[in-house]
Amino acid sequence: MCSKNDNPRVSRDLSHGDVYIMAAMQSAVEDLKDEKVPACLYWTVEQVSDWIEELGFPNYKECFKQNMINGRKLILIEASAFPNIGITDFEHIKMIAKSIRDLLEIEEPDWTRSISLPPRSDLGMYLEVKGNNGKNKDSLTFKNFCLNNNGAKWRPPLANHCLILPSY
């Protein structure tokens, strides 16, 4: 019979890094169970580059690999960034950008959209947050994001702000 301290594997305290990794993994599992969250959010660099190849762009596979674009970075990449990673054909840029939007299930930019409307859907705002790394962002789930942001997410600028300020 071994006591608590005899086996270092059993008695080892979890380091902050271990807790952080476990929280991120739990977040990923919960998000992958949620049908609203696209699974590509958790793709590896290899999976993203394979997807680019399946789209019909095998010549860009290495561009995505060299730039370490995983699922979370794929969220943030915009068409304007493609020339920086080696994709310069404008038609290819448009096709890849549209495919990314379709994959993430986010809306296409609408330049005629009213400025009084919120800029993004809940999923779009969540993906924008998840695109960055950090302790709080890695452990954030879509469900928790929606629960914590159920109030007004965006307010249009006040047209009467001069009337609100005190006069001097």
- Predicted local confidence at residue 27, as pLDDT: 74
Q: Taking 70 as the threshold, does the pLDDT of residue 6 lie above it?
A: no
Which one has a higher pLDDT value, 145 or 114? 145
Residues 110-128: pLDDT tens digits? 667 776 666 667 888 888 8
Q: Is 28 exposed, middle or buried (0-12, 13-18, 19+ CB in 10 A)?
A: middle
- Widest pairwise Cα distance in the chain: 81
- Predicted local confidence at residue 8, as pLDDT: 43
> CA geometry: angle at 142 spanning 28 and 22, to 5°?
30
Name the range with the highest mean pLDDT among 36-40, 76-80, 88-92: 88-92
Domains detected in the chain: 11-108+116-142 (1.10.150.50)
The radius of gyration of the chain's CA atoms, rounded to the nearest angstrom, is: 22
C-beta pairs of 40-48 under 8 Å, 24+ apart in sequence: 40/71, 40/74, 40/103, 40/104, 41/71, 41/72, 41/75, 41/104, 41/127, 41/130, 42/71, 42/72, 43/70, 43/71, 43/74, 44/70, 44/71, 45/69, 45/70, 47/71, 48/74
Lowest mean pLDDT among 2-6, 33-37, 78-82, 96-100: 2-6
- Predicted local confidence at residue 33, as pLDDT: 80
Which one has a higher pLDDT value, 166 or 100? 100
- Please give the average per-residue pLDDT across 100-108, as a whole number: 84
- Predicted local confidence at residue 144, as pLDDT: 85
- Predicted local confidence at residue 43, as pLDDT: 92
Q: Is 43 exposed, middle or buried (0-12, 13-18, 19+ CB in 10 A)?
A: buried
- Please give the average per-residue pLDDT across 88-97, as a whole number: 95
Q: What's the mean pLDDT when you consider all of the chain? A: 77
Q: Cβ distance 92 to 57 under 8 Å?
A: yes
Q: Cβ distance 30 to 143 under 8 Å?
A: yes
Residues 14-69: pLDDT tens digits? 565 566 567 667 777 777 788 888 888 889 999 999 999 999 999 999 999 999 99
